[in-house]
Structure 1
Amino acid sequence: MNRRELLVGSAALLAGCATAPLVSPPSPPQFVRREHNRFVLGNETYRYAGTNMWYAAHLGADTPFGNRERLRREFDRLQMLGISNVRILGSSELSPLKNSITPAFRTQSSEYNETLLRGLDFALAEMGKRGMRAVIYLTNFWEWSGGMMTYLYWTNGGRYINMNDPAHPWPEFADMASEFYESAAATNLYYDYVRAVVTRRNTVTGQLYRDDPAIMSWQLANEPRPGGSEEAGRKNMPAYLGWIEGTARAIKSLDPNHLVCTGSEGTQGCLDSDDCVLDAHSTAAIDYVTAHIWPQNWSWADPKDLAGTWPTVETKTRDYIARQVAIAAQLHRPLVIEEFGFPRDGGGFDPGSATTYKDRFYSLIYGAVLDSVRSGGPIAGSNFWAWGGEGRAQHPDKHFVRGDTSYVGDPPHEPQGWYSVFDTDLSTQALIRDHAAALRASVASA
């Protein structure tokens, strides 16, 4: 190329650069943050109607036990209802415990189940497309996903207790499971897994989990507690509180972008002590408070006499919520009612059975949420238990059998359909839709 050609070419290149449209850099991702007793997204208060869907990663796995097309359909249904937050299982431990789920995210080895982790990747990618946000719990106090008892089994020479074993009545299971907190061998295995997941790169989006706005928060466990009996709980309390503080700070050091919470049931799961909940959530590394409400499990509701026991359900539910609100207010933290469930009329499990009192219970919870919102209280959202969608029990007795893949909202230790909201439950869905719309309106008018 001679000098003249070089000058002409350079001039054309400069002219092209001068007239080319300027491309704005991509906007940084928006993460849900906490400001005092509220969640914030961008410049707005973040409130949400949510659900539980423990099996999302299982459906997202590209294997015979998964069903990605169904997962897409379920997310579409939830989006149409206005559900913007989904609480999902992010860990399970392959276990000898009766009714524990398989496949699991991990065994005792450090080789984790990449197929199931890719299922979690896929679920998060699909949620991100729909503007949904995930709460991911990283182990379980209970047996149905392996949980803390399995970590102990791996490290104590093979000893364990099955939940509901007549030879080991309550609270023996809970008391033994709570030994997890002071077992360095068990908690180190747990920390290894937490580190691997929190620092993971999504194989679908290529994004690090810590940079993914589709994640709202990490949860230390599902319903952790210091013990079942008063004696064991008091004995384990220092280790329990130390585990919360240490784990939450470790997650924050790995991922400064996302919220962290305990996954606690509230006072019911903390020796029925408000002080226990206050102590468990006093560390600055825990961003918000959670509460679970189970009227039948707690003997407030009789499924064979829902009309007769309803006054007790209503009174005790209001009282329980008031206690949790007072705790959150004292801590200056948001509160999420992240599990609540109620039986169908007559205690049935089939999608066609009536939901008169279930709907009334949902209305009670949703009313409490809106009352708190309108009064400037701490309740920021709720997650009903649980979305069953198009899943159905595969056996006449409604029991889950290892290998079943028609997942419903109820985990494998429970009757399949007990607390699920199915795609055919139109009256319940109408309540959910109206509540989600009311929350959106509250944000718009704020």
Structure 2
Amino acid sequence: MSNHYDVAVIGAGAAGMMCAAAAAARGKRVLLLDHASKLAEKIRISGGGRCNFTNVNAGPQNFVSDNPHFCRSALSRYTAQDFLALVRKHRIAYHEKHRGQLFCDDSAEQIIRMLKDECDAAGVAWRMPCKVNGVERSGELFRIDTDGEPVLARNVVVATGGLSIPKIGATDLGYRIARQFDVKIVETRPGLVPLTFDGPSWQPFVPLAGIALEVEVETGSRKGKGARHGHFREDLLFTHRGLSGPAILQISSYWQPGTPIVLNLLPEMDVAEELIASKTSVKKQLGNILSQWLPARLAEGLLLANGFAPDARLPDMADAKLRKLGDAINRWAIVPTGSEGYRKAEVTIGGVDTRELSQQTMMANKVPGLYFIGETVDVTGWLGGYNFQWAWASGVAAGGSIE
């Protein structure tokens, strides 16, 4: 039958194409379905158009999940070096940018073409654009209802991604399929996303949009059951609505609404000790001193926000006040009012509960033949190529195991 397959993969993104190629290479009759008219848009826009396709340091420590050890199996069986071998096979030039992040020299299109070529070489069939309306079990087969002819398959792989960046087609289809088959979902929220601030306490910082500097940032706690603590040293960017940059995107995956993030704006310096030690020898105004270490507009904003006059002279300041100022710079605790949401989030935190899946095959424990991979699953990587590595690894784990 022309509409009868061993494997139907719903979602032709990074994880979906990887899975389809792996399954078809093992002789399975595979169909790849996607509702988009343009292939793998999320790959296309990634890494500024050059696709940060993996990270050489990728390991379980770089991922957030309610079940943090789940990702270990897939990541250990398909590593960054394995994907690099595929990139080299297709003669795609690449470079390492920062902390193990690998990018195409030319364009993200090369990765899309590589994955498409791997699928085509293995004999994967395509239906695109093809909207999937639902999936149901029909005896030993799954029946996929589409806007065209229905599809019958012995196995279904859900690779529909998360809710991030709806303007390029993100939907909740994967979660709807999971719920339909009574597969639990970990509550979802935007991840790798700018954080927003408002209210009177933030007003001195609104004019600072565009200022960037390297900081340390942390949030959460190391104590208690299920504690989730994040700590990064990356660049911070002030925006018109709050804070962004790699430091904030990273910490957003650990931040819980209503809790503070703590910034160290001068991680190489104990500001209070430096100021107190300089009182007898430096006669300058506080604003001028801080401007030697921080962007001038930021220095002034911090002083005003903490009740200091920028023209106050250092020798006139009590040690206790200087310690307060030091804390405001080295341990600046602020509570975000929210985030920029899914429209600007690079990933979705949460998703299909990994305790419902086999870590070897990605198959749902209660539903033989139903698999969940990639961003649909509650495994979220750090910024820097880690989420793509999870897509490749989870795709191969499923595609390489389907019988």
Smaller-chain TM-score bracket: under 0.3
Greater RCO between the two (CA within 8 Å, min separation 6)?
2
Q: Which has the higher strand share?
A: 2
TM-score relative to the length of structure 2: 0.24
Q: Which has the higher helix share?
A: 1
